[in-house]
Structure 1
Amino acid sequence: MPSIDLNYVAVPTARAFHNSTAFVRGIMGCYGSGKSVACCWEIFMRAVAQKPSPRGIRKTRWAVIRNSYPELKKTTIKTWQDWFPHEIAPMNWAPPFTSWLKLPHPSGDGTFVEAEVIFLALDRPSDVNKLLSLELTGFWINEARELPKAILDAATGRCGRYPAKRDGGPSWTGGFCDTNPPDDDHWWYTVSEIERPVNWEFFRQPSALIREGDQYMPNPNAENIENQPLGYNYYFNMLGGKSLDWINVYVMGNYGTVIEGKPVYPEFNDGFHVAEKDIEPMRGLPLRLGWDYGLTPACAFFQVTPQGKVIVIDEAVSQDMGIRRFAQEIVKPLIANKYEGMRIISHGDPAGTQRSQTEEDTCMQILKEEGIETVPAETQEYIKRREAVAVYLTKNIDGGPAFQLSPCCRYLRKGFNGAYKYDRVQVTGEERFKDRPSKTLHSHVHEGLQYGMLELSHSQNVTRPRARERTRRGAAGWAA
């Protein structure tokens, strides 16, 4: 029976990660910080710590999850086999890829460790079905920022089911995830920094470098440097040709967005166009709404000052929700809580005048029934929509921006900063981009804003809108 060389030394954050018994754990850090290795060893250490069955077998079963089969094979499985090679943990390459770790217990007590490690590629919420038949001791989600939270939720429901009670049951059960830093609107950020569920624990590794002025210096607290062949130069070599956003995420280990593609609004300057604090509504002026429909409806809230300045004060964003439910559960409560009694001018995607295959009423009719009478924008033409916003980004009024965004508008802000973008066309040679923005959670609210602002280009006095204005108050109806 082959033996294993137990030469793993955990870095400080990984040591705390290993010592935790939380049901769900996460470890986040920069490139090359040893996260994946720590997770491989977590499987091994939990397998070794499993109590033996009456027959002296310490049984565990694990699911290792990545977002695609190419990534699973060339990164996740490769890291596993670097530490637990074929001689120790033979790999069956018939799907699902499965490694069988079998060896005498390191204590020499006569028992045997038997760990079944199943490698799966799951990248869509619909892939949860691949998990439903599994009975697991635990799971590892590798590079969790690339997977939807539905995968994590499904995986937690398969834990604690192996080994069977007759074999002693699991000594520990649960899951762990590793990741490079995601966006601050990602589910990882929500659960680790805001919700903090009971019996979940998250660990964050120090940055590889620290920034002093315009210079980057080695961080003496950086982890896994001793295992990098180039030491700190591994990170210094990364800096060349990279954006500050890229460095912030992959070297500094901070939450952030690394944009791939071409921003729709290169005219936008975050430091100039975003207000220092949330913008309060101007009660004497109309509140304008701009709508986008579909199953990801969104609505932008803005006003036009007497000087002609556009102030975007709020947003409403949704997923997997029809327009009626969106209006009832999100938009109307938002109006009631923050904008009650204000006169409303509402414009939306002209497609909202058409019936869908599943609704007898159009989106415009549904909004009218909900008390938000909405006028279709003049056109869906993309260039005109984009320019309706961009023209304000290039103007100044009274020494300040003609367009100002409230910092509470997280999706609009991230979209302006590049998440609302043209995808790159996969061709060789000169960079080329598609002529229409990609559809994302950030694009829908931007399209709503565009439909709302199209109206402004048709009026020399933007405080006198063309759309019919009417004021209604109370729970039964909203200003339209």
Structure 2
Amino acid sequence: MSDIPSNGREIHYKPPGPVGRDFIKSDAFVAGIMGPIGSGKSVCCVMKLVRNLQKQKRQKDGWIRRRTAIIRNTYPELKTTTIKTWHQWIPASYGNYRESGPPTHHIVDAGQKIDWELIFIALDRPDDVRKLLSLELSDAWINEAREVPKAILDGLTGRVGRFPRREEGGCTDPQIMLDTNPPDSDHWWYRLAEEPTPEDVETVAELEQQLRDVGSLRADQPLFQWFRQPGGRSPNAENLQNLDPGYYLKACANKKPEWIRVYVDGEYGFVLDGKPVYPEYRDSVHCKTFEANSRLFLHIGMDFGLTPAAVFGQQMPNGQWRKRTEIVTDNMGIVRFAELVKTHLAQQYPTFKIGSITGDPAGNARGADERTVFDILAAAGLRANPARTNDPTLRIEATRTPMTRLIDGEPGMIIHPDCRFLRKGYAGGYNYKRVQVGGDEKYRDVPDKNIYSHVCDADQYLMIGAGEGKAIVKREPVANRPSFAITDYQTDF
């Protein structure tokens, strides 16, 4: 891609390398690209959206119309990174950019007969998420997908391709594109891109054939396609022409091997990024093998939303807490989740008595059918109660305090090795996000929402429901701080 005129200046773009080029050209319904920092992934997505606009069929009146959603996990990151990258290539002065509400960029170019509406969505704003899952879209871009629940990807598969409507000419090549730095190997991206089950492979192949039979996919068009850029120190590293010499070597300075492995070499891995909520946790100390005791009450904590989770634990007679199993989901409604919990109880704890089932108080909100989450759980035979507080400070302290006790020579809280997500959350995956304030490095006041936060929230509800935290003096809640021609260029790849 080259020669994009913008307000009197020329912007030249060429793909960062062969992988970036192939990603931009991909017509897969879901196309994802993963690579190290500085590899040009986000700009590839910008250019891919432009390419999709170029491919869109004109309607009877000669106009091209398209509606796009651009998604990031939090509004600060949406504003400071995603939108900033977008405006480096598609200036706010081209069309009408509005920052209020969910930010929108509406481009109407009468000369070229283009009407393109772009909606920027942050997942930390519930109203925006509800809007996203009701939009009729042409395509969507999930920026830094490792920080986004799979439920968002799943929901988008039913939202793209809905605009323009079929009677208006339809949408040409609806698509969901994703970019990311490498996530942990427990992440849904890894499972989809690297280790799909034989059943998943067979299902996708059957779906592709059915879609080709009805004319929804071309013979050479896949349903899913995943691209992986070489590491930054590889001889085949991409985007080096746009980076300072030694960029990746400098990036390695004073970094831990795990950080270098993920952000520089582009390998899957777990990196502590942010300030841990539980700095006292040591996996070598707090992770031990044990069996649950059927003579003691079983306590359950649940977090709800798009990615419900549950933790199952017991308190020993000496006061020690033991977390035995967990349930972590990607995208599941509360009815299916309730059945999964019941199956888990039947398989893992068939003779145990339930001491408490405690969930997120937000589950008291009534849905379209006037039922709450707790109503649905009760109908499934799970009599859960809302936690008595949803103050994150109190919840965290109720969980941290037992961990710092020493009981009969052992920590006051241990986690079984089977609880992989809970352990990684305690080890730093559950953290306060780093932010820059006036040039100083600070951290947000509430834990970041990610794949580890849901199971850690469930763990806190377990502790609150089982009686921990009653002696903590309630403190005041901490406040949150939280002239351009698009089609006038040719592809040169």
Shorter-normalised TM range: 0.5 to 0.7
Aligned-residue CA RMSD (Å): 5.3
Question: Which structure has the larger Rg over C-alpha atoms?
Answer: 1
1:119 maps to what in 2? 118
1:31 partner SS: coil
- Per the alignment, do residues 28 and 395 of structure 1 end up closer, same or farther by CA in structure 2, a change over 3 Å counting? farther
CA shift, 1:388, in A, is 1.8
Distance (whole Å) between structure 1 residues aligned to residue 55 and residue 354 of structure 2? 65
Q: Does 1:406 align with 2:422?
A: no
Cα drift, residue 264 of structure 1: 3.9
1:416 partner amino acid:
Y
2:325 matched to 1:314? yes
Matches within 5 A, 1:434-473: 440-448=453-461, 450=463
Q: In 1, are the aligned partners of 2:277 and 2:431 still within 8 Å (CA)?
A: yes
Q: Select which of 89, 94, 114 maps to 1:91.
A: 94
Change (3 A) 1:79 1:351: closer
Looking at structure 2, the residues matched to 91 and 260 of structure 1 have their Cα atoms a distance apart, in angstroms, of: 36
Q: Secondary structure of 1:178's match?
A: strand
> CA distance change for structure 1 residues 313 and 287 in 2, over 3 Å: closer, same or farther?
farther
Q: Which runs of 5+ in 1 are unaligned?
A: 104-112, 209-217, 456-480
Distance 2:365 2:269 in 1: 39
SS at match of 2:323: strand
Post-superposition offset of 1:201: 1.6
- One-letter amino acid of the structure 1 residue matched with residue 131 of structure 2: N
**Structure 2: how far apart are the matches of 1:310 and 1:58?**
64
d(CA) in 2 for partners of 1:295 and 1:427? 32
Contact 2:283 2:427 in 1 (8 A): yes
Q: TM-score, normalised by structure 1?
A: 0.63
CA distance change for structure 1 residues 19 and 432 in 2, over 3 Å: closer, same or farther?
A: closer
Q: Which residue of 2 aligns with 1:179?
A: 180
Residue 346 (1) aligns with residue 355 (2): yes
Describe how 1:225-264 pairs up with structure 2 within 5 A.
225-228=240-243, 230-231=244-245, 233-256=246-269, 258-259=271-272, 261-264=274-277
Partner of 1:65: 70
Q: In the aligned structure 2, how far is the partner of 1:121 from the partner of 1:202?
A: 24
2:234 pairs with 1:204: no
Give the match's secondary structure for 1:411. Answer: helix
CA distance in 2, matches of 1:356, 1:373: 11
* Distance in 2 of aligned mates of 1:143 and 1:381: 29
Give the CA deviation at 1:448: 4.6
In structure 2, the partner of 1:300 is: 311
Paired with 1:92 and 1:51, the residues of 2 have a C-alpha distance of 21
Q: Which moved more, 1:266-275 or 1:174-183?
A: 266-275
Superposed, 1:252-401 pairs within 5 Å as 252-256=265-269, 258-259=271-272, 261-271=274-284, 273-274=286-287, 281=291, 286=295, 288-292=297-301, 295=304, 299-302=310-313, 312-316=323-327, 328-341=338-351, 343-344=352-353, 346-347=355-356, 370=381, 383=397, 385-391=399-405
Residues in 2 aligned to 1:114 and 1:77: alpha-carbon distance in whole angstroms? 21
Offset, 1:144:
3.4
- What is aligned with 2:239? 224
Q: Retained in 1: the 8 A contact 2:301–2:463?
A: no
Question: Does the 8 Å CA contact 1:72/1:119 hold for their aligned counterparts?
Answer: no
One-letter code of the match for 1:35?
K
Write the distance in 2 (CA, Å) between the matches of 1:449 and 1:166: 52
Partner Cα distance (2:83, 2:324) in 1: 47
Distance 1:219 1:454, change over 3 A: farther
SS at match of 2:66: strand
Structure-2 change in CA distance of 1:450 and 1:148 (3 Å): closer
CA distance in 1, matches of 2:379, 2:165: 57
- Cα 1:32–1:260 shift into 2, 3 Å: closer
**Structure with higher RCO (Cα < 8 A, 6+ apart):** 2
Q: 1:288 to 1:238 in 2, by over 3 A?
A: farther
Percent sequence identity over aligned pairs: 31
AA partner of residue 204 (structure 1): R
Q: State the 1:430 CA deviation.
A: 9.1
Deviation of the 1:446 alpha carbon: 2.7
Q: Distance in 2 between matches of 1:327 and 1:75?
A: 38
- Residue type at the aligned position of 1:121: F
For 1:221, give the aligned amino acid.
Answer: N
1:259 Cα deviation after fit: 4.6
Alignment deviations for residues 368-389 of structure 1 (CA, whole Å, 9 cap, x no partner) = 9948899x99xx8865652323
Provide the residue aligned with 2:42 in structure 1.
36
1:243 CA drift (Å): 4.6
Matched letter for residue 19 of structure 2: T
Structure 1 residue 27, shift from structure 2 partner: 0.9
Q: Residue by residue, what CA displacement relative to the aligned partner does 1:379-424 show, whole Å, maximum 9, x if unpaired?
A: x8865652323335x9866xxx886533331331122112444677
Preserved contact between residue 288 and residue 452 of structure 1 (Cα < 8 Å): no
Alignment match of 2:28 (pick from 17, 22, 26): 22
Q: Structure 2 length as normaliser, TM-score?
A: 0.62
Q: Aligned-pair distance for 1:25?
A: 0.7
Residues 424 and 347 from structure 1, CA distance in 2 versus in 1: closer, same or farther, beyond 3 angstroms? farther
Residues 236-295 of structure 1 show CA distances to partners (whole Å, capped at 9, x for unaligned) of 2223344555434322334455555543433322355446xxx5746x754652334675
Q: 1:448 to 1:244 in 2, by over 3 A?
A: farther
